[in-house]
Amino acid sequence: MPKPNRPAVGGFHAGELAVQRRAGVEAEAARLTPMVEPAQLRGGIAAFLADRTFAVLTARDPAGRLWASPLTGPAGFLAVTSPTTLQVTASIPATDPLHTLPPGQQVGLIVVEFAGRRRVRLNGTLTDTSAGRLVVEVDQAFGNCPQYIQQRVLDPDHSRPEADFENARQGGTFDAADVDLIRGADTFFLGTAHPERGADASHRGGAPGFVRVEGNQLWWPDYPGNNLFNSFGNLAVNPEAALLFIGFRTGAVLHLSGTASIQWGLAGMPGDDGRTGRRVRFGLQRLVADHSLPVREVAYRPYSRNPELTGPPSVVFDMPAICTGS
């Protein structure tokens, strides 16, 4: 299949630069610019992908709505077939909002090894969805640090009844089970998209309870990271957001689609667990919930330096002009 025309990538886009400037880390981020330049799937990255069994995909459904979905398979289901091509051999369940995934769109992937606390992000164009595979022409590929990854060992689940694939719920509001899953989560995945640069998938982790639920909205404090602000940069110019919560012990999967905004306040105020003065507020528009994850957690150790939760907020954060959303 001919490769589609893709926008040139390289360096930080205007949204990322604006957030870096607001956070006061322009110099630190500039030193990491090579990480977001066009990359090839060679050496350590290719070897890492070959052994992985879990990834998360950010993409759009046929109606154009942004979602984040888990992809799982045996080692080798992520195969590098050329220096810029990744083939994913995985079936997306019929209950998943990305089951009928249209090709020709920009997508983001994050591939995680929980046991070794390693992750790699890949962004590119989905060129093929036929024959039970996804083919991505990769523009960007770079590793992230191990911060906030809880150590997990995941094994295939051979006991799950096939009916679990069929019992899905769709809606626009949280029920009690959704709230329990979110409030108990120490990990979730965030999907964002830039109008020209495309989609991105990222990992967020913390102590259980770091994601707060307020009615039909969620918020979480931002923790210190690598200062690239890829997700925040996308949100600065486009509020679309997709969240994925997983019950690793139960197989529960909760897909959320809506809008998000960055909020800025004083570092160290109540609720600012990471002491960055930043948090993200997400407004739910649509959700899909099921129990389709075909793996189960068989061993677990939390990240030893998760920030301590500091309670609910007692301060109103301001809404800068560079951030739009719910």
Residue ranges of the domains in the chain? 14-301
**What would the DSSP string read from start to end of 106-141?**
EEEEEEEETTTTEEEEEEEEEEE--TTEEEEEEEEE
The letter for the amino acid at 313 is P
The pLDDT of residue 167 is 73
Task: Give me the phi and psi of 154, to 5 degrees please.
Answer: -110, 130
Name the average pLDDT for the chain. 90
pLDDT in tens, 232-285: 999 999 999 999 999 999 999 999 999 999 999 999 888 999 999 999 999 999
* Closest by Cα among 60, 78, 125 to 255: 60
Q: Which residues of the chain have pLDDT under 70?
A: 1-10, 160-166, 312-326
The pLDDT of residue 8 is 46
Q: Report the C-alpha gap between 268 and 42 in whole angstroms.
A: 42
The pLDDT of residue 159 is 75
Q: Report the C-alpha gap between 191 and 106 in whole angstroms.
A: 12
Two tokens, residue 139: 């523009």
Full strand arrangement of the beta sheet holding 133-144: 66-72, 54-60, 105-113, 118-128, 133-144, 85-89, 78-82
Predicted TM-score (pTM) of the model is 0.92
Tracing tokens 């046991």 back to the chain, one arrives at 115
Q: 14-301 maps to which CATH number?
A: 2.30.110.10
Contact between residue 320 and residue 123 where contact means Cβ atoms under 8 Å apart:
no
The pLDDT of residue 164 is 53
User: CA–CA distance from 287 to each of 115, 183, 243 (Å)?
Assistant: 29, 16, 9
CA dihedral 7, 13, 16, 17 (to 10 degrees): 170
What 3-state class would DSSP assign to 304? coil
Q: Report the C-alpha gap between 12 and 284 in whole angstroms.
A: 28
Parallel, antiparallel or unpaired: strands 151-156 and 169-171 = unpaired
The pLDDT of residue 258 is 98
